[in-house]
Every structure is written in C-alpha cells, then in structure tokens.
C-alpha cells in the first residue's frame, strides 16, 4: 500500500489483493462484496475501518466513485470525509479533474458527506436502482 501516512489513508497498489476486511465491510454496507478491482479501478483505505473504490479514466481526466463505506462502529466521526478528501486530492494530483458519482436520494448520510466535500448535484437517472429508486448524480470539479 502507498499513501500519506498522516491521514491514515493508503492506496492499494495495482494488483494488490483486496484485504478480507474490505470484503467484510463491503458486505456489511452493501449486502454483496465486489470482487478484486479491475485494471481501471483504484481503491483507497483507512486500514480495517473504511474503503473507497473508484473507476479511473485517465484519458478523459475523469474518475467515478463506485463505493465508499466506513465501518458502522466508526461512522459520524469524520473518517468518511478524511477518506474522500484524500482520494480527491490524489486523483486531482494525477490529472483527474472531473469526478462523478451516483447515490440514492434517500441516503442522507452519503449526500451530506458529498456536499461537505464540495460535490454538487448534476442530474438524475430515473428508476436506476433495482428497487426502482432514482439515482441522484453528483460531480466534483477542480476549481
Ligand atoms: C456515507 C458514509 C461513508 C459516511 O461516513 P462517515 O465517516 O460517517 O462520514 P463523516 O463522519 O465524515 O461525515 C461527513 C458529513 O456527513 C454527515 N453525516 C454522516 N452521517 C450522517 C447521517 N447518518 N445523517 C446525516 N448526516 C450525516 C456528517 O455530519 C458530516 O457533515 P458535516 O461535515 O456537515 O458535519 C457512511 O455513512 C457509510 O459507510 N454508509 C454506508 C455505505 C454507503 O451508503 N456509502 C455511500 C454510497 S456508495
């Protein structure tokens, strides 16, 4: 893993196995754990506590936040913000100046996190989720 040690955030190296605790947290937060990251994906972690998984498109200078989760016992303590800001800083440093994500409008905690980190709504996808809920689209751009 690599990354700024002071914030506790680290980026998994390309090809590095997904730690078991990430899969556990993935299941806890989303019901299903995703498999090992594909080549175009990148994962940042606060070890044992939080992860964020992104799809990165260097040719377009864009990245999409696929999943972010903090262990339930550590939520509402600022770690989501620390992790997301670290990801944004790293991605911006690599020339990803336009970041995107989709989120359930009912996910108040996530929406508060995104807004607090400078993301803005940019659209919606009707009936996007399997249960029929729309997806709210957010973007963050380098200022
Ligand atoms: C969304 C999530 C990552 C937030 O992590 P967190 O560590 O609790 O977030 P933080 O403590 O850094 O809080 C960030 C902001 O969100 C707010 N917030 C956090 N949880 C909240 C809640 N349950 N309700 C309302 N606001 C909330 C905080 O007050 C803070 O806002 P502020 O800066 O205005 O004070 C976490 O709730 C989580 O893992 N949820 C399950 C997975 C998920 O839904 N991920 C998003 C979709 S991919």
CATH for 83 = 3.40.630.30
Question: Which structure tokens are listed for 22?
Answer: 């990430």
Nearest CA to ligand 1 atom 21: 109
Determine, yes or no, domain membership for 106. Answer: yes
Q: Which domain holds residue 129?
A: 10-141
State what percent of residues in the chain have pLDDT above 70.
96
Question: Which structure tokens are listed for 7?
Answer: 């914030």
Q: At residue 39, does pLDDT exceed 50? A: yes
Atom nearest to 50 CA in ligand 1? 39
Determine, yes or no, domain membership for 1. Answer: no
Determine, yes or no, domain membership for 5. Answer: no
> With b meaning 16 or more CB within 10 Å and e meaning fewer, what string describes 22-38?
bbebbeebeeeebeebe
Determine, yes or no, domain membership for 28. Answer: yes
pLDDT of residue 4: 47
Q: Cβ distance 54 to 67 under 8 Å?
A: no
Q: At residue 115, does pLDDT exceed 90? A: yes
For the entire predicted model, the pTM comes to 0.95
Q: Is 70 exposed, middle or buried (0-12, 13-18, 19+ CB in 10 A)?
A: buried
Number of domains in the chain: 1
**Contact 46 CB / ligand 1 (< 6 Å):** no
Determine, yes or no, domain membership for 4. Answer: no
């Amino acid at each position: 893993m690599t990354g700024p040690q002071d914030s506790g955030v680290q980026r998994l190296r390309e090809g590095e196995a997904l730690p078991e605790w990430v899969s556990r947290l993935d299941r806890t937060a989303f019901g299903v754990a995703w498999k090992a990251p594909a080549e175009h994906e990148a994962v940042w972690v606060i070890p044992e506590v939080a992860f964020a998984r992104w799809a990165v498109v260097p040719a377009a200078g864009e990245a999409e936040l696929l999943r972010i989760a903090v262990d339930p016992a550590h939520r509402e303590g600022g770690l989501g913000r620390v992790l997301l800001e670290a990801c944004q800083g790293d991605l911006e440093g690599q020339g990803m100046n336009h970041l995107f994500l989709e989120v359930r409008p009912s996910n108040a905690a996530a929406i508060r996190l995104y807004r607090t980190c400078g993301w803005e709504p940019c659209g919606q996808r009707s009936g996007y989720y399997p249960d029929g809920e729309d997806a709210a689209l957010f973007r963050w751009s380098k200022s």
